[in-house]
Amino acid sequence: LQPAATAYYGELEEALIHGTCTSIDPSMIGSDVDTECKNKTAFSTTPLSFNPNLNHLREGLLSLPPFPQHHRERAVEKTFNSICMYAAAGYLAARPPTLEIFPSWPMNHLQQPYSVSTGSISSFTGNSHSVGSTTDSSSGQNAMPQAELVSPGSMRADSGQQQEVLMVTVDDYNYEEGLGAAATTAPIFQQHTADQDRRKHGSTRKEGKLLDAKTERRLAQNREAARKSRLRKKAYVQQLETSRIRLQQIEQELHGARSQGLFPGGGSASGDMSSGAMMFDMEYARWLEDDSKHMIELQGALQAQIMDANLVGIVEECMRHYDELFHLRAMLARADVFHLMTGLWATAAERCFLWMGGFRPSEIIKMLIPQLDPLTEQQTLGMCNLQRSSEQTEEALAQGLQQLHQSLAEAVGTSPLSDGANVANYTALMALALDRLDTLESFYRQRVLPSVTFPLKLPIMQADNLRQQTLHHMRRLLTTRQAARCFLSVGEYHRRLRALSSVWASRPRESFVAAAENVSPSGTAAEQAVHPYHQSQFSGL
């Protein structure tokens, strides 16, 4: 039996070392040794994505066939340990941004490896066959660990000491320690199993004889060592956590700086930006800086209650500044319409409320009208008419864009030949394309892409035109002071959206300790099942 398990573990280990992941089908890992060949074919290498496969790994480990104690102990210890080390190393090497080493190990599952390993170990001190027989059925494989935790009574039947080992195991390892255990080095792991062994033996002796002083001292030392290593693990996990958060913060800052164009040549992580897009991002960053200066000027001038000649100048400057923005956007629409439309130049919250690549004029007007009190009747009428005509135009533009979507969807979704090719032509072209990808690519670049991007910029540019017209007309309807308040409000609105985005981006990620503790209510049930003495303590309450 052992070679199969060792081979299995060896393959696991190897796969992890080489940074590939294995999709282990637990149901195929039978205790039937003859399925060793099947086990080997169960491995398939897929692109690196550790999260689901750590689950598989865990499941694979948990559904081990029974082995003679000493072999199993060593095999389990050594391999599990090294696998976890490599898993951790693999995580750190391959996915630095997210140190999610143990992403999917909620409480109850986490405790299983330890309890299973020790439980299984102890189960073989006595009746290897009885436990082995329950796990021989492949259907019962994965149920085994749960059975061990949930119904210690069944274990009790096998050997009195087993249940105690289980309870001690669970008692000793809370979630954090369990986490840290796998990430730390071999000696500590072995130390704990050694501790458990000693404790197991010690507890049996408590029942009858007195402990001799030497054993007692040894036990105390072991407990002390165990406590120390637990603390070390806690510290290590804490360190990992803070590093992870720090890494995320740095990533955010980097991303923020890049999107503002402060990092030249920053081909963002989300793909390469066209030069037009990058240029716009840089100009836009500068525009934003100037915009905030204007806001400060406006605020200062408005607070000076007297009608300042300066205010007219500042308002004119604001208007001109917006015109400049629309000019930049028009250039971007010609260079890279997707960048403009999808709002990659904007922050997350702004992107959420994007309408055709920018703000929706009627919404801005709706927001501004109550802020402009008092308005003359004529002004009110003018503003309401402006809102209505803007809404109508927005609706028309949106429908134009929708019609464009439909015709483009047909063009892109069906035959690449734009003149309605028949099926035979299409098949021929596809056959050609399979052999000559460069042909297809150039076809797309020369024929399909322009037919998509060229018309797409039309509604977007008209939307910008609408925004510009609306702002200009509003300026004409209002007094200088009112116009100043408008510009201030609009600027403040967008500034708050940007602030919201940055607060959101730098929100503290919940530690996965806290997250996992909230995750599984079943964990508590499992806990209670193995802590009957806890329950009895509280039963009197």
Partner 1 sequence: MPAAATAPIVESAVARVERLASESAVVVFSVSSCCMCHAVKRLFCGMGVHPTVHELDLDPRGRELERALARLLGYGPAGAPVVPAVVPVVFIGGKLVGAMDRVMAAHINGSLVPLLKEAGALWL
Q: Where do contacts with partner 1 occur on this chain (CB under 8 A)?
A: 382, 385-386, 389-390, 392-393, 395-397, 399-401, 403-404, 407, 455, 458-459, 462, 465-466, 469-470, 473, 476
> What Rg do the C-alpha atoms of the chain give, in angstroms?
34
**What is the secondary structure of 133-155 as a DSSP string?**
HHHHSGGGTTHHHHHHHH-HHHH
Query: Considering beta carbons, is residue 196 or 362 the nearer one to partner 1?
Result: 362
Specify the residue for token string 């600027």.
491
- Cβ(167)–Cβ(531) under 8 Å? yes
Q: How many Å apart are CA 60 and CA 9, to the nearest integer?
A: 10
Query: Considering beta carbons, is residue 465 or 520 the nearer one to partner 1?
Result: 465
Minimum CB separation of residue 479 from partner 1 in Å reads 18
Beta carbons within 10 angstroms of residue 386's beta carbon:
19
Query: Considering beta carbons, is residue 19 or 400 the nearer one to partner 1?
Result: 400
Minimum CB separation of residue 470 from partner 1 in Å reads 6
Minimum CB separation of residue 452 from partner 1 in Å reads 12
**C-alpha 262, offset from chain centre:** 26
Query: Considering beta carbons, is residue 266 or 382 the nearer one to partner 1?
Result: 382
Query: Considering beta carbons, is residue 131 or 463 the nearer one to partner 1?
Result: 463
Q: How many Å apart are CA 133 and CA 124, to the nearest integer?
A: 12
Q: Which two tokens stand for residue 238?
A: 């804490």
Query: Considering beta carbons, is residue 281 or 464 the nearer one to partner 1?
Result: 464
Specify the residue for token string 């801005």.
364
Minimum CB separation of residue 286 from partner 1 in Å reads 27
Range list of H helices, 265-344: 275-303, 309-335, 337-341
Minimum CB separation of residue 91 from partner 1 in Å reads 49
Minimum CB separation of residue 370 from partner 1 in Å reads 21
Query: Considering beta carbons, is residue 159 or 387 the nearer one to partner 1?
Result: 387
Minimum CB separation of residue 398 from partner 1 in Å reads 8
Query: Considering beta carbons, is residue 120 or 468 the nearer one to partner 1?
Result: 468
Minimum CB separation of residue 239 from partner 1 in Å reads 57
- What are the phi and psi torsion angles at 45 (to 5°)? -90, 130
Query: Considering beta carbons, is residue 133 or 392 the nearer one to partner 1?
Result: 392
Q: What is the DSSP letter of 355?
A: B
Q: Which two tokens stand for residue 161?
A: 């000491």
Identity of residue 284: Y
Minimum CB separation of residue 457 from partner 1 in Å reads 10
- Cβ(122)–Cβ(201) under 8 Å? no
Q: How many Å apart are CA 315 and CA 474, to the nearest integer?
A: 12
Q: Which two tokens stand for residue 63?
A: 């559904």
Report whether the peptide linkage leading into residue 97 is cis, meaning its omega lies within 30 degrees of zero.
no
State the burial class of residue 54 (Cβ atoms within 10 Å of its Cβ: 0-12, 13-18, 19+).
Answer: buried
Range list of H helices, 345-479: 348-352, 361-368, 377-413, 423-435, 437-443, 449-477
Minimum CB separation of residue 445 from partner 1 in Å reads 20
- Cβ(167)–Cβ(528) under 8 Å? no
Beta carbons within 10 angstroms of residue 533's beta carbon:
9
Query: Considering beta carbons, is residue 243 or 399 the nearer one to partner 1?
Result: 399
